[in-house]
Structures are given as structure tokens and as C-alpha cells.
Amino acid sequence: MAETGSAGGAGFYLEDLAVGQVFQSGGYRMEAEEIKRFAQQFDPQVFHLDEDAAAKSFFGELVASGWHTGSVTMRLLVDSGFLADGFIGSRIDVTWPRPVLPGDVLRIEAKILEVTPSKSRPERGRATVEVTTLNQRDEPVQKMTTTLLVHRRRER
Amino acid sequence: MAETGSAGGAGFYLEDLAVGQVFQSGGYRMEAEEIKRFAQQFDPQVFHLDEDAAAKSFFGELVASGWHTGSVTMRLLVDSGFLADGFIGSRIDVTWPRPVLPGDVLRIEAKILEVTPSKSRPERGRATVEVTTLNQRDEPVQKMTTTLLVHRRRER
């Protein structure tokens, strides 16, 4: 993952973040087998489990569970390493504007919307981040706003 | 899953839903091995992966990924069968008020907040549902509001 116009895996702390910064990830290919395996465990509905049954369902084809898309988004966020102390969220707002299909290659863009130092805990703060998950045609398949805990750089 | 005071697996359609109805699920035990396996795939951060490393982390102990808790919540919702045509969501707002620990047994309560027939598509509508995920001490570990697509009963 790279900050637009700079090196990847930034490992940023609270004082490094600024409103408007954008981070981008690598890609993650959604294989049909993984879509079905996730659904068997967590979202066993016909349109996530079987191509033939899905063809007769609301979606008309096999699609990934939204929770699968969200979990892959989390993986792309963690792999990006753009926050030095990891990704600890207390809140997410998510919409799924279009389905994820087998073979889609997902990537994310994470944009800093707000940076708020804590009043009571000087060593930390919060960042509100808009994370858009896009397919290989650059169409958004998930839009998420999340609030993350971010630490200041520790004195060494 | 049972509607409070009535039978489980209700298989409700749009016209059966009313504001204030509450549905409850069975339980799902969060095993340490499953917490780690989910994290290896989707959220590989130390506090989800390894007890010893987690002890030195922000959480001080091994905790489940929020995406894991959310995915298990989805499973409990689907298994409940309280909607006849399944659970198709276009939006979720989620908070995680406290961590999920190995051995926790999760269950959900789903409360109907709003039922909105579609103006343009008479055969369907939307239900806004508040889904609270509770641990074995009845403490909320996840609070979610979601908007679900719900169909009317088809004429036979």
C-alpha cells in the first residue's frame, strides 16, 4: 500500500496524519471457492453458496457475502501498514453499492477525513477514515467510514 | 431463534413485520482456535493471533476481530430464519462496545425499528433492524443497525 505519491507501508503515527491524505493497497482476488467457503461458515444463503441456485435468486448469480468483502477490506488495510500501531476500530458505517463477483480483484483507497487528538490521553487520538473498496473496473463495491485509535510516536 | 414469546424460525414476510418485534437466536461459542484462524486470513494483528503477544498489546489479551464478531452475528441472523426470503442488507452501522474473548458464547437480539414498503416496487420493502450481539453475561459486544430488503408474501 502506498500513500499517493510516496512510499508504501508508511507506518504513520497520529502526528503524521493530515486530512486529505490517501493511501492505496494492493489487490485481492475473490475466488469462487473462497466466496463459498466463507458463506458456508458465516452467511449460508443460496446466492453465496452455489452458482446454479444463485442464478435463480435475487442476485441472479453467485455473489460474495458483504461480510466477506468487509473482512477482505480489513485484510487489505492491515497489509497496507499505513498506521504504525495497527488498526483498532470502534465503529464502522458500511454500504455495499454493488455485488462482488467471483474473479473480481479488490483493492482499497483509504482517505483521512478527520484527525482528533484525545483531550484526556495526550499519547493518543482518533482518525476518521473513509475506506472505499473498488473492483478491477474501479467501481466501488463497499464504502466504509471507520473511526480508528491512533497513537503518537513514543519518545525513545 | 425465536420471536419473543412465540415459535422460532418465523419465516416472516414484509406484511408480518411490525415495529418493536424482537427475535432471539441460539448461541455461538467463540473458540480461541477459530479466533486465530479468522485473524490469520482477514485481520492478522497480534492481539487476534497469539495469546502471549496479545498480553503485551493494547488489549492485554487475545480478542476476536470485530469482523469475526460481525460475521458470526450474520451467521446467527441467517440461522434464525426469521425472514422468509433471507437477509439481504445494503447498509450496516456497527459499534463494538467491548471485546469478544475466547470461550465467549454469543447470541443476538434483533429488534424491528422501521418497516417501509417500497413506493415503486409493491412486492417489496425495507426493514431497519437493530441487531445486538451479547455475550454469556448479557453484555453487548456489538451493536448494529442494518437495513434489509424484505419481500411481500407471493400469491400462490
pLDDT, tens digit, for every residue of A40-56? 999 999 999 999 999 99
Chain centre to alpha carbon of residue A8 = 16
- Asked if B74's CB is within 8 angstroms of A70's CB, the reply is no
Q: What is the DSSP letter of A43?
A: -
pLDDT (average), residues A98-118: 97
Neighbours of B30 (CB within 10 A): 21
Per-residue burial over A70-106, b if 16 or more Cβ lie within 10 Å, else e, is: bbbbbbbbbbbbbbbbbbbbebbbbbbeebbbbebeb
Chain A: residues touching B (Cβ < 8 Å): 38, 41-47, 58, 65-68, 70-72, 74-75, 78, 85-96, 149
Domains and CATH numbers, chain B: 2-151 (3.10.129.10)
Per the listing, cell 487528538 goes with: A117
Kind and range of the H or E element at A22? strand A22-24
Write out the three cell numbers for A14.
497520529
C-alpha R_g of chain B: 17
Give the residue from A106, A116, A39 showing the smallest Cα distance to A79: A106
Structure confidence at residue B10 (pLDDT): 76
**Is the ipTM above a cut-off of 0.90?**
yes
Strands (E), B38-139: 88-95, 105-117, 124-134
Kindly report the nearest CA distance between residue A14 and chain B, in angstroms. Answer: 16
The residue among B47, B73, B78 with the most chain A CBs within 10 A of its CB, best to mutate, is B78
pLDDT, tens digit, for every residue of B52-110? 999 999 999 999 999 999 999 999 999 999 999 899 998 999 999 999 999 999 999 99
Strand partners, A22: A111
Structure confidence at residue A48 (pLDDT): 97
Whether the full predicted model's pTM is greater than 0.95, yes or no, is: no
- Is the pLDDT assigned to residue B1 strictly greater than 70? no
Give B58's contacts in chain A (Cβ within 8 Å). 85-86, 88, 149
Are residues A48 and A35 in contact, defined by beta-carbon separation less than 8 angstroms? Answer: yes
Q: Chain B: residue nearest A73 by CA?
A: B42
Give B71's contacts in chain A (Cβ within 8 Å). 38, 41-43, 65, 67-68, 71
